[in-house]
Amino acid sequence: MNFSNRWVQLVAGITGMVAVANFQYSWTLFVLPLQERFGWQEVEIQRALFLFFVPAQTWLVPLEGYLAERFGPRKLLMSGGVLASLGWIINANTSSLPILYAAQVLAGCGSGIVYSISMGSALKWFPDRRGLAAGLTAAAFGAGAAATVRPVRWTILEHGYEQAFLWFGLGQGLVIILAALIVRFPRPDEVPAPTQSKILQSGRDYTPAEMLRAPGFWLVYFMMIMGALPGLLMLGYIAPMARNFGVADMPVTLLWITSAALPLAMEIDRVMGGLTRPVFGWISDHIGREIAIFLAFALEGVALFFLIQNAHDPILFVLMSGLAFFGWGAVFSLFPAVSGDMFGRKFATTNYSLLYTAKGAASLLIILCDELRTQMGSWVPVFIVMIAADGIAALLALLVLRPLRARLAKMEENKREM
């Protein structure tokens, strides 16, 4: 096998992303078993995801991205598999909240390493198809957990959550290590030049320090916080939402298949959240990033509006949550592509890693939303926050980001002509 082939590299990164997806996307399945076993409050268990896993997954990735670009991705990617696996192995044996939180930090660090290296590799190998490559890689993280929703749920029901943590932690860690044996970053002569298109692309490579000072970075950062918030909240709370709305165990028949609403919704959500990433990535390569961002967030906001209007209807709960995830998942292909377009290829791994910390910032707001739900005794105010966040991000993409990037492109063109 030719490891210098960029499609082989893309598949290796995708494989690692599929394996690491469960560490985030299956967490909601463990909340109730942990609550029943130890009597912990739901909010205490959810902190393990939103205050420890996601911040560790996102806020350390700039350092991890720098180390990967400085020393190469292979050994670091292997360590990511080991750390993520170790986190779940510890989870299988803990009876203490502090140890659960510490284990989630380990799993988050490992997951962040895999995510940043896989995404950075895609951006580096495919400057000519950045939206598609980022979308396919991000799709693996979004949809990778879909195939294991029922196996994880079955393992929890039949063998206990401890065995689910242990078996899937070991198996997923091994797959990541095997994928790491293939991954490497390209040399300058191994990648094609960016093609001429409607996509505005920077004419130079920004260092991370230059990017942090550049006009537009903090705008994109704020937009990503707003865009990440609704999906993260749905991701962590879809199981308690379904139980609160009384639809979790209600039968739903779609395409001649009958299933309880909650596992079906989770499977469709993972598939839709993964499918949207290459779809919107490809679309953005042709119509522009900002228009694609507007369409994705507008779609999610509309889906969430109809979901809360029909929350007690199991069929609409399943369909609207899937449509919402189809809008949300696009965040993780469109924003890497925007980062590469605006700040160049050379430092793409570190630069996107810095932008990716916006997801960690969004996770801190989830706990505030949970407090809002507790105080108000209803999910309606939380849905209002989510829909507003989608609307703000969508409008900023068209009304602020698009003209800003056009001005920056004009300034670069004038400098080249001088």
Q: Which domains does the chain have, with CATH numbers?
A: 6-417 (1.20.1250.20)
Which ranges of 288-379 would DSSP assign to H, the alpha helix? 289-309, 314-328, 331-343, 348-376
Asked whether the beta carbons of 131 and 285 are under 8 A apart, the reply is yes
CA–CA distance from 112 to each of 101, 127, 315, 353 (Å)? 16, 22, 34, 9
**The Cα angle at residue 365 between residues 148 and 17, in degrees rounded to 5:** 30
The number of C-alpha atoms within 13 Å of 299 and in the hemisphere containing its C-beta is: 21
Which ranges of 126-260 would DSSP assign to H, the alpha helix? 130-143, 149-159, 161-180, 208-213, 217-244
Q: In whole angstroms, what is the distance from residue 328 CA to residue 180 CA?
A: 28
| Torsion of Cα atoms, 400 then 403 then 405 then 409, to 10° | -160
pLDDT for the residue 202: 59
Give the residue from 240, 236, 111, 215 showing the smallest Cα distance to 173. 111
pLDDT for the residue 123: 79
pLDDT for the residue 195: 56
pLDDT for the residue 193: 64
pLDDT for the residue 253: 83
Asked whether the beta carbons of 166 and 44 are under 8 A apart, the reply is no
pLDDT for the residue 187: 80
pLDDT for the residue 199: 60
Give the residue from 334, 290, 317, 318 showing the smallest Cα distance to 131. 334
pLDDT for the residue 23: 84
Assigned token pair, 109: 């660090």
Would you write out the chain's pLDDT as a tens digit for each of its 418 residues? Answer: 556 788 888 888 888 888 888 888 788 889 889 999 999 988 889 888 888 998 888 888 788 878 887 888 888 899 999 999 999 999 999 889 999 999 999 999 999 899 888 888 887 888 777 777 877 887 787 666 667 777 888 899 899 999 999 999 999 999 999 999 988 888 877 766 655 455 666 567 788 898 898 878 999 999 999 999 998 888 878 888 888 898 888 888 877 778 888 888 888 887 888 788 888 888 888 888 899 999 999 999 999 999 999 989 999 999 999 999 999 988 888 898 888 888 877 787 788 888 888 988 888 888 788 788 888 888 899 999 999 999 999 999 999 998 988 887 777 666 666 5
Which residues is 258 bridged to in the sheet? 253
pLDDT for the residue 414: 66
pLDDT for the residue 359: 85
Residue with structure tokens 């990037």? 405
pLDDT for the residue 309: 92
